[in-house]
Structure 1
Amino acid sequence: MKKRLLSFWEIWNMSFGFLGIQFGFALQGGFMSRIFQTLGADKDAIPLLWIAAPLTGLIVQPIIGYLSDKTWHSRWGRRRPYFLIGAILSSLALFFVPHSPALWIAAGFLWILDASINISMEPFRALVADKLHESQRSYGFVVQTLIIGIGTWVASNLPWIINQLGVSNEAGPGIVPLSVKVAFAIGAFVFLVSILYTVFTTEEYPPENMEAFRKMQKESKGNFFKDIMENMGNMPSTMKKLGVIQFFSWFAFFTMWSLAMPALTEHIYQAPAPVESAYDMTDAAQSAVFFEVNKKYQDAADKVGSAMGVYGLSSMAFALVLTFYASRKRLNRKFTHMISLLFGGIGFIGMYFIPNPSWLLFCFVLVGIAWGSILSMPYAMLSSSIDPNRMGVYMGLFNMFIVLPQIIAALGGVNFVYKLLGEQAIYAMVVAGISLIIAGIANLLITNKKAIAYTVDIE
């Protein structure tokens, strides 16, 4: 089927649901560790509590990709049914997670939340490749990144904004502050509404040969694992090379999501989370000290969350520049991605050396450039090097290179590596920087010219 070139607003509409997805990811990435620490988690236990996120992605994304490839509904299309199911489940999980009364319940909600977000996210990646002519793929993924950047910045600042509006960020031992609860409720609403916007404003192309498609659906029944293993065995070499880049990229960002909060509240703001067991809460004086220390931590956590939002803002600005460039000229995806990751690596390492908190914003600007590229360039390169009829399943399998490094990090990898440098959690940010630099250099492995830069100009 010959695909027509889409306008900016058509691409915007089909990508808008990512605003909600990113609200979910930004709230999860910026504040789950805060919730875990509030409920009594030790900082070294936090990466293991985060293992829910990559494990659910490893299981869910290939399944959803495979199923969506073989789905067609005359009204809802191929990918949109999965958007909608994921949005409903994610919104419910987002609303309830900050109300968790115990650590194990919060960890359980993280499983549900991440699984639900993955149900929506993978088909969005495939939709761009489904709908866009190959000459517009870089442009489409960059527009998606622009929307992701908006969502990251707004969601990361929500608890701080809500606190500035008069909602308290203070709470008793083991209680998540009201400002965080309100932020998650707003995130749940935005998630659902933005997905619905894309569902009702975007049409999908039907299969070119409906008879052959129905035949494939029947033949594929009961062959899920066989088909998955066959596709895995036939993985293109470019996809494997991109996998190396993704491995080190996502090891770095998992390290940030899980440990930036304890690392930066301690190192930058000198305000570590108080351990309730260290205080005699029956003693009025010690109880007062606990509340004072806890307030200092919660204020610092708001500032760290707000600073982390800057990486969403800079990724949005970077995506905006790439959007204008990719809409008019050929983009060298390989070198764009390599340079972006090197900037991000410098940003992470710089967090150890900065003299005061104001420099933290600059570090996250550099991290945002890497993030903006991670969300667009690998997918643009991948979509130009795989069979369009297997777009969903390959996008799902590509997720393995995202979740495996996170699982390794969660199972103790990040704790082991950063403690080779020192006991302080800030060394985890140094490890994240080194990992991104390795990922940047690994772009030199990519040699497929079609993946590096598609050559058809857009008029």
Structure 2
Amino acid sequence: MDMQTSLLKPRLSFWQLWNMSFGFFGIQFGFALQSANVSRIFSTLGAEADKLPLFWLAAPVTGLLVQPVIGYLSDNTWHPYWGRRRPFFFAGAIFAAIALFLMPNSSALWMAVAVLWILDAAINISMEPFRAFVVDKLDASQQTSGFAMQTFFIGCGAVIASLLPTMFSDVFGVSNVPTGGMVPDTVRYSFYVGGAVFFLSVMYTFITSTEAPPQNLEKFNADRKHAMRLGVALREIIKGFAHMPKTMVQLAFVQFFTWIALFAMWIYTGTAIADNVYGTTDAQSAAYQSAGNWVGIMFAVYNGVSALAAFILPVFARATSRKLVHTTCLIIGGVSLASIFMIHQKELLIIPMIGVGIAWASILTMPYAILAGSLPADRMGYFMGLFNFFVVIPQIASGLLLGWMTTHMFGGHTVNTLILGGASMVLAGILTLFVTDKAAAAK
């Protein structure tokens, strides 16, 4: 089942790359609001710090279930108007926008956790086909640039989304204090904006980008009828684990330790800064909510740095190698994340975020560029979805273990958990040196 229109794909212009990647601006807008504010929402609704990882399990478990299925379905989808990946962009955008409007209106902790399940499922429905979209449309010589363009929009969307609560508070005078047990209005309005931006950005890519039909449409339709039978689909999805390319297996270990670090950062930066810098653990206090806004600024910095680095890293990769670039970036990011422990002045927290941003740019670009050269074209969506197992599995492990470790090993101080995350990212950098980059080896 050959899904490529030709062996050598036409080289796309800058603006074609721009159009096909712009949807990631909205996707990351929603994801950044989630990563910077969900722990804050949970805490405001009464969650204890050591329980936060358990509540966050909704996100990785949803990804575990959704991504390979969506990848498999998109590989076996074709419609003359809707195309192959674009139907999933559209459906995910609708559900994500609805969830973003619902999340800040949760009146109880269980409601917020339930909405997080819906939100993360919807984000995954849109996001996973975007990765395969790059490989569908771009020749191997442009794929690193394609993923870099996505990283640029990821950074831009996340910068604005992370700053929104502070902007609403400082510029527009919106209340940043929780009242009646509900989240502050700054957070509520930020999620409303996020819902609109998510939908409109993804729709821009949906409208401005096209997809080429399968080269042999008759054969594709015949194969699709067989592939979409429930028993066949389940068997093919499960069988993929036994047929993962060597490069994918090697990258799985890199991803595992990388995402332990990121999950720790997203869950615990808010409580760590509130405790270590603002001197409070009371989620109802003004100081705690101010810490939440400052974490938004920190996250905006690392995402802004990643947007800039997205275009610089491919240059270094061509001059050296993608493996060396990724190793270097992960080590810089890991040391930076761990260094937060030593900082007690909020302004200085910007410095480690620069290092984290360099790592984040590479995390969103290099593993996917390295992986793409080792995957069969007709199963690109499925294997990209399967690869994300190694993004969500470490998050599940972290969700089950980090709370216990924080309480029983780190004395309840979540800033110590960030040190563990930093060490994990450094280890991921070292493991990258053992990955086989087939595309680079073939040059």
TM-score grouping bracket, smaller chain normalisation: over 0.9
- Describe the SS at the equivalent of 2:81: coil
Contact 1:77 1:204 in 2 (8 A): yes
Residue 321 (structure 2) pairs with residue 332 (structure 1) = yes
- Residues in 2 aligned to 1:155 and 1:453: alpha-carbon distance in whole angstroms: 39
- Describe the SS at the equivalent of 1:445: coil
Structure-2 residue corresponding to 1:283: none
- Describe the SS at the equivalent of 2:285: helix
- Residues in 1 aligned to 2:387 and 2:136: alpha-carbon distance in whole angstroms: 16
Structure-1 residue corresponding to 2:418: 429
* Counterpart among 179, 192, 213 of residue 185 in structure 1: 192
Q: 1:374 to 1:421 in 2, by over 3 A?
A: same
- Residues in 1 aligned to 2:441 and 2:412: alpha-carbon distance in whole angstroms: 44
* Counterpart among 190, 198, 201 of residue 205 in structure 2: 198
Contact 1:38 1:173 in 2 (8 A): no
Contact 2:53 2:402 in 1 (8 A): no
TM-score with structure 2 setting the length: 0.95
Once the two structures are superposed, the pairs formed by residues 244-263 of structure 1 within 5 Å of their partners are 244-263=253-272
- Residues in 2 aligned to 1:231 and 1:160: alpha-carbon distance in whole angstroms: 45
Structure-2 residue corresponding to 1:304: 295
- Residues in 2 aligned to 1:295 and 1:448: alpha-carbon distance in whole angstroms: 50
Residue 437 (structure 2) pairs with residue 448 (structure 1) = yes
Post-superposition shift, 1:273? 2.5
Q: String of CA shifts for 1:307-365, please: whole Å, max 9, x gaps.
A: 12111011111113236667xx5662111111000011011111001242222101111
Contact 2:26 2:199 in 1 (8 A): yes
Structure-2 residue corresponding to 1:384: 373
Structure-2 residue corresponding to 1:81: 87
Post-superposition shift, 1:303? 1.1
Task: Choose 202-211 or 99-108, whichever is displaced more.
Answer: 202-211
Post-superposition shift, 1:208? 1.0
- Describe the SS at the equivalent of 2:414: coil
Once the two structures are superposed, the pairs formed by residues 27-426 of structure 1 within 5 Å of their partners are 27-164=33-170, 165-220=172-227, 221-222=229-230, 223-274=232-283, 294-322=285-313, 329=318, 332-413=321-402, 415-416=404-405, 419-426=408-415
Contact 1:135 1:454 in 2 (8 A): no
Contact 1:261 1:304 in 2 (8 A): yes
Contact 1:58 1:399 in 2 (8 A): yes
C-alpha root-mean-square deviation of aligned residues, in Å?
Answer: 1.5
- Residues in 2 aligned to 1:254 and 1:173: alpha-carbon distance in whole angstroms: 30
Contact 1:68 1:392 in 2 (8 A): yes
Post-superposition shift, 1:385? 0.6
Task: Choose 18-27 or 441-450, whichever is displaced more.
Answer: 441-450
Segments of 5+ residues of structure 2 without an aligned counterpart are 1-5
Structure-2 residue corresponding to 1:7: 13
Q: 1:453 to 1:433 in 2, by over 3 A?
A: farther
Q: String of CA shifts for 1:354-381, please: whole Å, max 9, x gaps.
A: 2422221011111111111111110001
TM-score with structure 1 setting the length: 0.92
- Residues in 2 aligned to 1:186 and 1:172: alpha-carbon distance in whole angstroms: 21
Amino acid at match of 2:362: S
Structure-1 residue corresponding to 2:3: none
Report sequence identity in percent: 46
Q: 1:99 to 1:112 in 2, by over 3 A?
A: same
Contact 2:93 2:199 in 1 (8 A): yes
Structure-2 residue corresponding to 1:26: 32
Size of the alignment, in residue pairs?
434
Task: Choose 212-221 or 78-87, whichever is displaced more.
Answer: 212-221
Contact 2:374 2:438 in 1 (8 A): no
- Residues in 2 aligned to 1:405 and 1:453: alpha-carbon distance in whole angstroms: 29
Contact 2:85 2:130 in 1 (8 A): yes
Task: Choose 228-237 or 32-41, whichever is displaced more.
Answer: 228-237
Post-superposition shift, 1:11? 0.6
Segments of 5+ residues of structure 1 without an aligned counterpart are 275-292
- Describe the SS at the equivalent of 1:426: helix
